């Protein structure tokens, strides 16, 4: 539903139209509210996997705050590259960029267990994977034929399924042996706080409208945070110590070639690029009632990769287009890229203020778990929704069955590939990459059903 006071129907479908500031600023902040929690969550999860996150024996709160800061700052920078553009780079559409969940199934195994990568190896992989991602912009539109809903839906479903375990662990009190060894792990108070977050999120999502509905997860976390504070589970020491302003540091964690992460990032960049193509199409259809042009698709992919590479240089994780904001464009009917530019500036300002990152860091892990359960469940549900467009012939069922069985199986029993070297083991036991490879290859080589 559109608001005529913002502009005429023709203006609202024009990406270059700028609504009055009194309307544009709230609309821009609404985009940030819709993606804020999803954007900072991967940084928190990676910190936990690396052993310096919430409650870890080697907890490094300044580094965690820095990762959260950079997630906000470079989501804003990557969004500006999309909306404002640099020559052919950027779709010049209202595309919101944020830290990608899709890369987590590859990054998490590389950060835990034997032969782990450090943050230097991780960020180097992000930079190289981002450059490869940008390169894909030269031809990504030409390979869409190989990625029907059967393949893309399976990939998105696998991303969600790979991450759901993290949500349950967080709601119970945190991931890792150091959290599981705590007497409070799995206790009623942890699940009570997580449950309140889920309940408030669902109530707002289905019974509220406008900004309250769009920001349901964020508001649910705020309510859970207040509850946790009342119950004595919030530690604000980091907020007091954090500064009011800080600039990012290039190669803060160093430079190190880790081939498992580099290969994994490049392969996942391909999947992320396809996701972005879908988001660009969704924005132009939902906001302007037209198909995306080849120039827009290529520009969006270039910007995706460049934004990720720049983020990696300064110690942040890969960026991608955020699908929830695609839905927001369709819901508001406002196609203006300048509205999203305002949101990007707001993110950049937040990313330069360490106290904002410190407040996010102080959210108890079980409270975050409630929000993560909803978010990762929605990723899996989005994959299932894409699969609804599949014609379930016996051929397609076999492709789905084999890819899902191998992918989920390797994810659940990583020791099954004990004979492999560490690099290949990390790539295959993510589950996501083998499932995607099997689905793509089988879809290309198996004949269509006869009769």
Is 174 among the domain residues? yes
Task: Give CA 150 to chain center in angstroms.
Answer: 21
Are the C-beta atoms of 280 and 297 separated by less than 8 Å?
yes
**pLDDT one-digit tens code per residue, 93-123:** 888 898 888 888 888 877 765 445 688 889 9
Are the C-beta atoms of 432 and 407 separated by less than 8 Å?
yes
Structure tokens at 5: 């006071």
**pLDDT one-digit tens code per residue, 131-142:** 999 999 888 777
Percent of the chain with pLDDT over 70: 91
Among 3-7, 34-38, 143-147, the range of highest mean pLDDT: 34-38
Confidence of residue 76 (pLDDT cuts 50, 70, 90): very high
Confidence of residue 50 (pLDDT cuts 50, 70, 90): confident
pLDDT at 272 over 50: yes
Confidence of residue 4 (pLDDT cuts 50, 70, 90): low
Q: Which of 285, 418, 371 is closest to 44 using CA atoms? A: 371
Task: Give every CB contact of residue 424 below 8 A, 6+ residues apart in sequence.
Answer: 260, 417
pLDDT at 90 over 70: yes
Structure tokens at 40: 């900072």
pLDDT top residue among 359 and 319:
319
pLDDT at 211 over 80: no
Q: Which residues pair with 319 in a beta bridge?
A: 99
Q: What's the pLDDT at 112?
A: 64
Give me the mean pLDDT over the 52-80 stretch: 82
pLDDT top residue among 29 and 341:
341
Are the C-beta atoms of 142 and 363 separated by less than 8 Å?
no
Is 99 among the domain residues? yes
Residue 286 exposure: Cα atoms within 13 Å on the Cβ side = 23
Average pLDDT, the chain: 82
State how far the Cα of 177 lies from the Cα of 223, in Å rounded to an integer: 28
Is 314 among the domain residues? yes
Task: Give every CB contact of residue 7 below 8 A, 6+ residues apart in sequence.
Answer: 17, 19, 334
pLDDT top residue among 389 and 193:
193
Is 450 among the domain residues? no
Is 263 among the domain residues? yes
Are the C-beta atoms of 242 and 66 separated by less than 8 Å?
no
Give me the mean pLDDT over the 192-217 stretch: 84
Q: What's the pLDDT at 101?
A: 80
Q: What's the pLDDT at 77?
A: 95
Q: What is the dihedral of CA 61, 371, 104, 389, to 10 degrees?
A: -170
Confidence of residue 1 (pLDDT cuts 50, 70, 90): very low
CA torsion through residues 47, 49, 53, 57, sign? negative
Is 392 among the domain residues? yes
Alpha helices in 208-293 (DSSP H): 210-214, 216-230, 237-241, 259-283
Work out the end-to-end distance of the chain between its first and last CA atoms, rounded to an integer number of angstroms.
45
Is 152 among the domain residues? yes
Element of type H or E holding 246: none
Are the C-beta atoms of 178 and 56 separated by less than 8 Å?
yes
pTM of the model: 0.80
pLDDT at 330 over 60: yes
Confidence of residue 451 (pLDDT cuts 50, 70, 90): very low
Number of residues that make up the chain: 451
Q: Which domain holds residue 206?
A: 9-445
The three-state secondary structure class of 147 is: coil
Number of domains in the chain: 1
Is 69 among the domain residues? yes
Structure tokens at 353: 């203020």
């Amino acid at each position: 539903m559109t608001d005529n006071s913002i502009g005429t129907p023709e203006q609202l479908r024009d990406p270059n139209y700028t609504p009055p500031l009194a309307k544009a600023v709230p609309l821009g902040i609404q985009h940030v509210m819709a993606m804020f929690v999803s954007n900072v969550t991967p940084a928190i999860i990676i910190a936990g996997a690396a052993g310096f996150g919430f409650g870890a024996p080697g907890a490094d709160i300044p580094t965690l705050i820095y990762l959260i800061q950079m997630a906000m700052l470079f989501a804003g920078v990557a969004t500006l590259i999309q909306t404002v553009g640099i020559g052919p780079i950027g779709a010049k559409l209202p595309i919101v960029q944020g830290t990608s969940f899709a890369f987590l199934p590859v990054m998490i195994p590389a950060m835990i267990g034997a032969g782990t990568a450090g943050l230097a190896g991780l960020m180097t992989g992000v930079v190289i994977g981002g450059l490869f991602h940008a390169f894909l912009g030269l031809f990504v539109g030409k390979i869409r034929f190989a990625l029907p809903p059967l393949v893309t839906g399976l990939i998105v479903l696998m991303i969600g399924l790979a991450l759901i375990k993290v949500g349950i662990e967080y709601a119970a009190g945190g991931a890792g042996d150091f959290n599981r060894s705590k007497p409070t792990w799995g206790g009623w108070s942890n699940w009570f706080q997580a449950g309140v977050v889920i309940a408030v999120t669902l109530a707002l999502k289905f019974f509220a409208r406008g900004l309250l509905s769009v920001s349901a997860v964020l508001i649910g976390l705020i309510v859970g945070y207040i509850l946790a504070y009342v119950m004595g589970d919030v530690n604000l020491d980091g907020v007091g110590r954090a500064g009011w302003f800080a600039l990012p540091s290039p190669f803060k964690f160093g430079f190190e070639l880790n081939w498992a992460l580099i290969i994994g990032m490049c392969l996942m960049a391909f999947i992320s690029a396809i996701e972005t193509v879908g988001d660009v199409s969704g924005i132009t259809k939902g906001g302007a009632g037209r198909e995306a042009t080849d120039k827009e698709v290529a520009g969006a992919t270039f910007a995706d990769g460049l934004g990720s590479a720049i983020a990696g240089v300064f110690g942040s994780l890969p960026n991608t287009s955020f699908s929830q904001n695609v839905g927001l464009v369709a819901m508001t009917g406002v196609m203006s890229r300048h509205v999203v530019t305002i949101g990007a500036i707001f993110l950049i300002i937040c990313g330069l203020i360490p106290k904002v990152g410190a407040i996010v860091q102080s959210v108890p892990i079980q409270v975050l778990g409630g929000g993560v359960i909803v978010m990762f469940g929605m990723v899996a549900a989005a994959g299932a929704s894409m699969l609804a467009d599949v014609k379930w012939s016996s051929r397609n069922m076999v492709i789905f069955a084999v890819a899902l069985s191998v992918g989920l199986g390797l994810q659940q029993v990583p020791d099954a590939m004990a004979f492999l070297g560490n690099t290949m083991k990390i790539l295959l036991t993510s589950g996501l990459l083998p499932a995607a490879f099997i689905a793509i290859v089988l879809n290309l080589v198996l004949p269509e059903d006869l009769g």
